Amino acid sequence: STARSAGEIRNFMHKLLDDDAAKSQGLAGWWTLEEGKGNFAMDVTEARFRSRLVGMKGKGMKWVESESIASGLEPPTPAWRERSVCAVELRRVRLAVRGRKLLEPVPCSAGCGDSIVR
């Protein structure tokens, strides 16, 4: 994960990352905000964070449809592509990511220098 300055965020906020660039840069989370309704946004990285949108209710904020989607163009982002993927398959992928993390060796808590699998 890389800390970004306000200027860097402004320069890149409307640029689309391809999946490989996102992974190679160690992107911790990527919310494309394509849901169009509700109080949650889904992260499209392997972590699949489900994040509550704060300030949506009672603050005058609302979802609006982008001009490209209104004109029938599909955005080329992973979240959009996943709409046609089986929900069971998406759940399987998320569980596999969690499972891989559990198989990562961790240092022994007794301080012997060995590593153990949780």
56, two tokens: 């949506």
At 47-105, the pLDDT tens digits run: 778 888 887 666 667 777 777 667 777 665 656 666 667 778 778 877 887 887 788 88
What are residue 92's phi and psi, to 5 degrees?
-60, -45
Nearest-angstrom CA–CA distance, 48 and 53: 15
Residue 2 has pLDDT above 80, yes or no: no
